[in-house]
C-alpha cells in the first residue's frame, strides 16, 4: 500500500501535518569542587603577607627611630630594638653606618626591608604552587524535550 494512502498518515487539515506542542526544559548546574582548596590557599597567602607585613612594619619603625635619634633607653625603643635586632643581624656589616649628631641611618635596615619583602613574595608563590588550585568550576547543562499531545 502506498504511504499516501495509509490511513495513519492522513492529516486532518488538508495535507499539512499539524505540529504537536513541544515543551523544553533546560537545567544548568555549576559545580566547583576546587573552591574550598582555592579559598584555603588564598587565606594562607594572606596570612603570610600579614606576618611579613608586621615584620616589615617593625623594621621600618626601627629605621625611623634610629634616623631621628630616639632615646635608646626609652621603653618603646628598647622593645623595637630588641624585636628587630635578630631580624636585622644577618645584614649587619654590609655597609657602614652613617651618623650625624645622634641621628643614625642604618642601611642594613633598608636592605632587611627589601630582602624580607622578596622573601614574603617568594613564600607566597611557593605556597600557591603547593596548595593553590588553578582548575575552575564545571558547568553542566541538561536539556530535556517532550512532545505533548
Tens of pLDDT, residue by residue over 53-92, are 999 999 999 999 999 998 999 999 999 999 999 999 999 9
Beta bridge mates, 25: 144
Q: What share of the chain is helix, strand, coil (3-state, %, to 5)?
A: 55, 20, 25
| C-alpha cell recorded at residue 136 | 575552575
Residue 18 lies in a domain: no
Residue 4 lies in a domain: no
Give the chain's domain count.
Answer: 1
- Going by C-alpha positions, the residue among 97, 106, 111, 95 that lies closest to residue 64 is 106
Residue that has been written with the C-alpha cell 499539512 in this structure: 16
Model pLDDT, residue 13: 53
Q: Which helix (H) or strand (E) holds 26?
A: strand 22-31
Vertex 11: Cα angle to 6 and 16 (nearest 5): 125
Give the domain range for residue 54. 32-131
Please say whether the beta carbons of 69 and 53 come within 8 A. no
pTM of the complete model: 0.67
Give residue 145's pLDDT band: very low, low, confident or very high (50, 70, 90): confident
Give per-residue pLDDT as tens, 113-137: 999 999 999 999 999 888 877 766 6
Residue that has been written with the C-alpha cell 642601611 in this structure: 107
Give per-residue pLDDT as tens, 4-16: 554 454 445 555 5
Give per-residue pLDDT as tens, 12-34: 555 555 566 667 777 777 777 77
Residue 81 lies in a domain: yes
Amino acid at each position: 500500500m502506498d504511504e499516501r494512502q495509509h490511513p495513519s498518515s492522513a492529516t486532518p487539515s488538508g495535507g499539512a501535518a499539524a505540529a504537536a506542542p513541544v515543551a523544553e526544559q533546560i537545567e544548568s548546574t555549576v559545580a566547583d569542587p576546587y573552591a574550598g582548596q582555592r579559598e584555603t590557599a588564598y587565606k594562607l597567602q594572606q596570612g603570610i603577607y600579614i606576618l611579613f607585613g608586621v615584620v616589615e612594619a617593625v623594621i621600618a619603625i626601627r629605621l625611623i627611630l634610629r634616623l631621628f635619634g630616639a632615646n635608646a633607653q626609652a621603653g618603646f625603643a628598647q622593645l623595637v630594638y630588641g624585636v628587630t635586632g635578630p631580624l636585622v643581624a644577618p645584614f649587619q656589616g654590609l655597609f657602614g653606618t652613617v651618623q650625624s649628631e645622634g641621628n643614625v641611618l642604618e642601611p642594613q635596615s633598608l636592605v632587611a626591608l627589601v630582602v624580607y619583602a622578596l622573601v614574603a613574595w617568594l613564600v607566597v608563590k611557593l605556597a600557591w604552587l603547593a596548595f593553590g588550585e588553578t582548575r575552575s568550576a564545571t558547568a553542566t547543562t541538561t536539556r530535556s524535550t517532550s512532545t505533548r499531545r
